[in-house]
Every structure is written in C-alpha cells, then in structure tokens.
Structure 1
Amino acid sequence: MTEPAVRSFDSALANGPRLGDRRITMTPAVEASEGGPLSAYTAHLGRGERADVPAPYDEVWVVVSGRLRIVGPGGVVTAGAGEYLHVPRETPGELEAVEDTTLVCVSVPAH
C-alpha cells in the first residue's frame, strides 16, 4: 500500500483540455481514479466566456484571479480574487467571466 503524501499544484498552469474553440481550460489535479472522496482542478476562463453551472456534485470555487458572475434563480452573485463560492449539486444558472479568471475548484464526490 502506498503511503499518503502531501502534493502541491500550481493554479497558473493551463495545460488542461480546452473546451472546443472557447477560451476555457480545465486542468485536473486530484481525480476520482485516485480513489479519494473529492476531485480538484484549475479552470481558466477568458473574459466574456460563459458556461452552465449545473453539476451532479457539490463544488467549492476559489477565485484566484479575475472576477466572475453567476446568474441563477436566486439572483446574481459576483466573486473576485480571494473570494470563494459554494455551488450546491444541480444548482441552475450560468457563469460568466467578467475578466480573465482563474478558479480552483474542489468537487465532492470525486469525478
């Protein structure tokens, strides 16, 4: 059995897959294949990019840089660098990058 070890990740890396021709990348850090209870990844969104919010898992998003806006049934929520959001499972809405934005996202359960 392998001993657990602390690992570090750099949110500045944007080497993950790009979503089509959009300026959105997602770089995995901790994945379900590792057998843990959560996933973590870095997301980069270019200014003006939009994405649907619903996901089949709970997430916490930490805004590392930039600013984003989420529009949903509860109204408009904005967050900038240093702020974080709890996004419950199946939350309806749309995310928009008000500026070039980098997020670190943690999801439970792992995916």
Structure 2
Amino acid sequence: MPHHEGTTQGTVRCFSPGRVGHWQGMDGHAIQIGPLIEKAEDGPLSAYYARFGRGETAALPAGYAEVWVVITGALTLRTGGRTLTAGPGDLLHVPEDSPGELTADEETELACVSVPAH
C-alpha cells in the first residue's frame, strides 16, 4: 500500500490522555472525546480517548465495531437485556450496531478503538 501525504502508516506512535491535542465536548453533556487516529489518515481504524462525567449516558448503537478499555472510573453498559459493569483495566467489545446504553457510574476515562475508521 503506498504511503499517502499526511498519513503515518508504518510509524509506531505512543498516546496518553495528557498528549491529546484537543478535546471535543458534546453539547450539554459532560462527555469529551480526544481524537488520536482519525479516518483522514487512511488507516483501517480510529482511536480516541473518551471522558464521561459521573452519571452521563451515551446511547448505542454505532455503525462500527469498538473496543473500549476502562482507564479510570466505572461504567455500566445495558445491552440486549444484559447489564455489564466495567472498571479499570476491563476491556469491552461492542459489535457494530449493538443496541444499548452506557452510564458512567463515576468520573470515567476510556481508551477506544473502532473499526472501520470514522
């Protein structure tokens, strides 16, 4: 695959929440997204950090598959008649178009990867 101008294909990178260049807020919500790897890089995935204030909720589904790793805090995911709770170090796989809703049980920070890139 050819290297495209502006992409970082073949470059190993390290990310941390403190290195996020810009956090994007969601109007009226204590939710912030810190984009890291974006669709414009022409890669197969997107990656970002997400921060949720205590009690914030977000609806599923998304039109892409995601993996979330809880860094700090805790969240509850209600999906398909099940309730899952995740805390620091837990990894959640959320398939494309999964129905449900997540709630931050406390201030929560996630590392997220989605496929395909969006």
TM-score by length of 1: 0.93
Local SS of the residue matching 2:76? strand
Aligned residue-pair number: 111
Per the TM alignment, residue 51 of structure 1 is displaced from its structure 2 partner at its CA by: 0.6
1:52-105 CA-partner distances (Å, limit 9, x unpaired): 021000000000000000112231011000001000000000100001000000
Where does residue 72 of structure 1 map in the other structure?
A: 79
Per the TM alignment, residue 27 of structure 1 is displaced from its structure 2 partner at its CA by: 0.7
Local SS of the residue matching 1:89? coil
Where does residue 4 of structure 1 map in the other structure?
A: 10
Where does residue 42 of structure 1 map in the other structure?
A: 49
Higher Cα Rg, which structure: 2
The question of whether the paired residues in 2 share the 8 Å contact of 1:13 and 1:27 is answered with no
Pick one of 91, 94, 114 that aligns with 1:107. Answer: 114
Give the alignment's Cα RMSD to 1 decimal: 1.5
Q: Which runs of 5+ in 1 are unaligned?
A: none
Local SS of the residue matching 1:33? helix
TM-score by length of 2: 0.88
1:31-67 CA-partner distances (Å, limit 9, x unpaired): 1110100000000000000010210000000000000
1:16 equivalent in alignment to 2:23: yes
Amino acid at match of 2:24: P
Q: Which runs of 5+ in 2 are unaligned?
A: none
Per the TM alignment, residue 4 of structure 1 is displaced from its structure 2 partner at its CA by: 2.1
Pick one of 88, 91, 100 that aligns with 2:95. Answer: 88
Per the TM alignment, residue 21 of structure 1 is displaced from its structure 2 partner at its CA by: 2.2
The farther-off stretch of 99-108 and 65-74 is 65-74
